[in-house]
C-alpha cells in the first residue's frame, strides 16, 4: 500500500495516543480549556466575496434581512444559507471550483 510504519506498544502515560482515557488528567492540567478545531476551506472567503459583490446575491440578502425571502433562508457570517447549506447563485463561477476541491 505504500505505507512504511512501525507499530510499538507504549504503556501508561507514554502512550500519548490514548488521550480519551486520560481526559481527566488533561482537564486538571489545563483547567478544562480544551477547544475543538476544524479546518475552514479556503473557498469560504471567495463565497463571501461573491455574496458581497453580486447584485443578485445582494438582492437576496436584502430580502432575507427584511423577512421577504420565502423558505428557510439564513445569513451566517457573510454566507447565504438555504436549509442550513451554503447557497450559491445559479450563475456562480465558484461552483465548478468548489466541486473540484472537494472531489478527490
- Under the banding of pLDDT at 50, 70 and 90, the label for residue 41 is confident
> Mean of the pLDDT values across residues 25-44?
63
- Angle separating helix axes 94-102 and 43-53, nearest 10 degrees: 170
**For residue range 48-102, what is the model confidence (pLDDT) as tens digits?**
999 999 999 999 999 999 999 989 999 999 999 999 999 999 888 888 888 887 7
Average pLDDT, integer, range 15-24: 56
Beta bridge partners of residue 76, listed in sequence order? 79
Q: Which three cell numbers stand for residue 34?
A: 480544551
| Cα–Cα distance, 100 to 80 (Å, whole number) | 21
pLDDT of 82: 95
Q: Report CA 40 to chain centroid distance, whole Å.
A: 5
Ranges of each domain in the chain: 40-102
- Nearest 5°: the CA angle 5, 34, 84 is 95
Amino acid at each position: 500500500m505504500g505505507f512504511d510504519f512501525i507499530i510499538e506498544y507504549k504503556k501508561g502515560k507514554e502512550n500519548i495516543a490514548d488521550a480519551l482515557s486520560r481526559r481527566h488528567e488533561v482537564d486538571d492540567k489545563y483547567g478544562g480549556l480544551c477547544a475543538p478545531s476544524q479546518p475552514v476551506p479556503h473557498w469560504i472567503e471567495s463565497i463571501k466575496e461573491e455574496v458581497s459583490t453580486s447584485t443578485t446575491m445582494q438582492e437576496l440578502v436584502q430580502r432575507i434581512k427584511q423577512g421577504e425571502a420565502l423558505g428557510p433562508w439564513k445569513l451566517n457570517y457573510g454566507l447565504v444559507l438555504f436549509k442550513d447549506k451554503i447557497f450559491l447563485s445559479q450563475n456562480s463561477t465558484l461552483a465548478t471550483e468548489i466541486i473540484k476541491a472537494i472531489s478527490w
